[in-house]
Amino acid sequence: MTTNGIETVIGLEVHAELLTHAKIFCSCSAAFGGPPNTDVCPVCLGMPGVLPVLNRRVVEFAIRAGLATHCTIAPVSRFARKNYFYPDLPKGYQISMYEAPICTAGWLDVLVDGEPKRIGLTRIHMEEDTGKNIHDAHGDASLVDFNRSCVPLLEIVSEPDMRTVAEAGAYLRTLRSILQYLEICDGNMEEGSFRCDANVSVRPAGATTFGTKVEVKNMNSFRAVEKAIAYEIARQSDALQHGERLVQETRLWDADREETRSMRKKEYADDYRYFPEPDLLPLVIEQKWVDEVRASLPELPAARRERFVREHGLSAYDADVLTQRKDVADYFEAGVAAGAPAKEMANWVTTEILRLVRDEKLDRALVIQEWPITAAQLARLVTLVQQGTINRNTAKALLPKLRGTGRDPAELVQAEGLAQVSDRGALEQAVADVIAKHPAQVEQFRGGKEQVLGFLVGQVMKASRGKANPQLVQELLRAQLAKA
């Protein structure tokens, strides 16, 4: 895809914080949010004489991620030290992987505006996270908290296969979705459990070599990634078109100004002096373990999406929305299992329920803990609407009443007398009353203005305090208006 004869090349590097109980190299809790410097020990503080010991579950999660993205799992992989000085890096080096990562040569299939595209994955490796720096209140010092030090990360590096912002966005969302399904990362960009750096370059269309690569960091949401890449594409294309030289550099996204800025130049670029980590022996992964992990993989998003279309007759769009998060897909299927008709259940989940979830930020965690109502309750509600017992508006109004209770919607409808009025006789009278009260609109309708019918239906609904069956009201109105 080219614009003005210029092609964009994008690669994405994701760091995913893993949902293990303990840290990667020590037995401190990896949980977020403790008071500063409490989830720490001599090992993750880098004290004299300490040594790392690898958490087995981190390896298992890496294998899961590798298998889900069609990578080759290396039978032997090695840890390496990445050496640099920074206050949040206690040992003065980060234990990572360099020449021999655990996973290589994978790929993801993504949908961009409904069209499939395959994006390659260069490598996945394990490493430890750093602590956190914050500025102190007076602004003349920084404060360091090592709770996050040694929390396990997976670094996932894509091939530079993306050509548009949309492809980058689709890749990121698909990757996050996969990691969530695997239950290895909760994918929360705002909270920092899912981080993304972008490599962006441009070149004249048809060129075979890559242009100067710019690394972009500090994007804290999916939208920010998209905006930052778009900004860079524009900036670089502009420079290219004017014959200006582009510098290979790192730029930071400024969310307030909505632009990227060059990072402060450092005297002598950091030389990380990677070398094999002497304190950790080569990681040998037997085929047996890989096979066990493969057998335990859940149904992945793409497969589940296709199955929803096939088995539940959903549209590709609805299936896509429902399967982006595993907990949402699970909720939908629980409702169907409880008797809800699939299409209606899908409709309710993708509109009413997900709106509430997003507004109240209930989707922060990997698995939504508090649904507005349970899948079983929603299934009942949806079924009641489909049967005609209540109308859709009544059902919507019931949501807040059901929330936090275990009540059966049918029971609540009964108790409050909310059942839809579908008695023709009662409704005939109400319809006649409304026709009598609104001669002007009746005139307009008879004159050909179809949309006035909606107003009249609304009046009948109002008179019945929302309980009238709107389809039946419409039918009766048309019938009565036709006479005369």
Partner 1 sequence: MSALTDLSVREAAARVRRRDVSSVELTRAALARIAAVEPALGAFLTVAGAEALAAAGAIDRRVAAGEDPGPLAGVPVGIKDIICTNGIRTTAASRILQKFVPPYDATVTARLKDAGAVVVGKLNCDEFAMGSSTENSALGTTRNPWDPDRVPGGSSGGSAAAVAARECHASLGTDTGGSVRLPAAFCGVVGLKPTYGRVSRYGVIAYASSLDQVGPIARDVADTALVLQAIAGNDPRDSTSSPRPVPSYAAALDRGVRGLRLGLPREYFVEGMQPEVEAAVRGAVQQLERLGATVQPVSLPHTEYAIATYYLIATAEASSNLARYDGIRYGLRVSEPSLRAMYQRSRAAGFGTEVKRRIMLGTYALSAGYYDAYYLKAQQVRTLIRRDFEQALGTCDALVAPVAPTTAFRFGEKTADPLTMYLFDIFTISVNLAGLPGLSVPCGFDQTGLPIGLQLIGRSFDEETLLRVGAAYEAATDWHAKRPPA
Partner 2 sequence: MALTRDDVRRVAILARLELEPAEEERLTVDLDHILEAFARLAALDTKDVPPTAHVEDFGALLRADEVKNPPAGDEPLLNAPARDGRFFRVPKIIE
Interface residues with partner 2 (CB under 8 A) are: 20-22, 26-29, 34-41, 45, 53-59, 76, 78, 85-87, 133-136, 139-146, 252, 263-264, 267-268, 271, 273, 276, 278, 280-284
Query: Phi/psi class of residue 258: alpha, beta or left (left: φ > 0; alpha: ψ in -120 to 50)?
Result: left
Binding mask 67-106 for partner 1 (x = CB under 8 A): --------------x-x-x-x--xxxx-------------
- Interface pick for partner 1 out of 29, 36, 46, 57 (rule CB under 8 A): 46
CB of 40 to partner 1, least distance (A): 10
The option from partner 1, partner 2, none interacting with 118 (CB < 5 to 8 A, set by class) reads: none
Q: How far is the CB of 134 from partner 1 (least distance, A)?
A: 14
3-state secondary structure labels for all residues of 391-430: CHHHHHHHHHHHCCCCCCHHHHHHHHCCCCECCHHHHHHH
Residue 252: CB minimum distance to partner 2, A:
7
The site string for partner 1 over 264-283 (x = CB under 8 A, - otherwise) reads -------x-x-x--xxxx--
Q: Counting contacts by CB under 8 A, is residue 450 touching partner 1?
A: no
| Nearest C-alpha neighbor of 294 from the set 67, 140, 99 | 67
CB of 271 to partner 2, least distance (A): 6
Q: Of partner 1, partner 2, none, which one sits near residue 51, judging by CB under 5 to 8 A according to partner kind?
A: partner 1
Type of residue numbered 360:
E
The least CB distance from residue 288 to partner 1, in Å, is 20
Between 44 and 431, CB nearer to partner 2? 44
User: Hey, is 31 helix, strand or coil?
Assistant: coil
- Residue 284 binds what, of partner 2, partner 1, none (CB under 5 to 8 Å, by partner type)? partner 2
CB 286 → partner 2: shortest distance, Å?
Answer: 10
Q: How far is the CB of 273 from partner 1 (least distance, A)?
A: 4
How many residues of this chain bind partner 1 (CB under 8 A)? 29
Which entry of partner 1, partner 2, none binds 417, CB below 5 to 8 A by partner kind? none
Tell me the two tokens of residue 129: 């996270």
Instruction: Compute the least distance from the CB of residue 103 to partner 2, in Å.
Output: 16
Quickly count: other Cβ atoms within 10 Å of residue 476's Cβ: 20
Quick count: other Cβ atoms within 10 Å of Cβ 271? 8
Instruction: Check residue 350 and report its DSSP letter.
Output: I
Which of residues 31, 105, 111, 144 is near partner 1 by CB under 8 A? 144
C-alpha closest to that of 320 among 161, 109, 159: 109
d(CA 425, CA 445): 23
AA letter at 246: L
How far is it, in rounded angstroms, from Cα 183 to Cα 60? 12
Task: Choose the binding region for partner 1 from 47-55, 242-250, 335-343, 371-379 (rule: CB under 8 A).
Answer: 47-55
Question: Can you tell me the distance from the alpha carbon of 158 to that of 145, in angstroms, rounded to the nearest whole number?
Answer: 31
Instruction: Indicate whether 417 belongs to the interface with partner 1 (CB under 8 A).
Output: no
User: What phi, psi does 327 have (nearest 5°)?
Assistant: -70, -35
303 binds, among partner 1, partner 2, none (CB under 5 to 8 A by kind): none
171 binds, options partner 2, partner 1, none, Cβ within 5 to 8 A by partner type: none
Q: Which residue has the tokens 């349970």?
A: 374
Q: Look at residues 131, 132, 59 and name the one whose alpha carbon lies nearest to residue 97.
A: 59
Give the Cα separation of 284 and 281 in Å (integer). 9
Indicate which of partner 1, partner 2, none lies near residue 93 (CB less than 5 to 8 Å, by partner kind). partner 1
User: Residue 239 binds what, of partner 2, partner 1, none (CB under 5 to 8 Å, by partner type)?
Assistant: none
What the block records as the tokens of 194 is 């899912």
Q: Is 231 an interacting residue with respect to partner 1 (CB under 8 A)?
A: no
Contacts of 202 (CB under 8 A, 6+ apart): 6, 7, 8, 9, 211, 233, 236, 237, 240, 246
Q: What is the C-alpha separation between 78 and 426, in angstroms, rounded?
A: 78
Q: 99: how many CB neighbours lie within 10 A of its CB?
A: 10
297 belongs to the binding site for partner 1 (CB under 8 A): no
Do 80 and 277 touch, CB atoms closer than 8 A?
yes
Rule CB under 8 A: say whether 444 interacts with partner 1: no
Binding site residues, partner 1, CB under 8 A: 42, 45-54, 81, 83, 85, 87, 90-93, 142, 144, 146, 271, 273, 275, 278-281
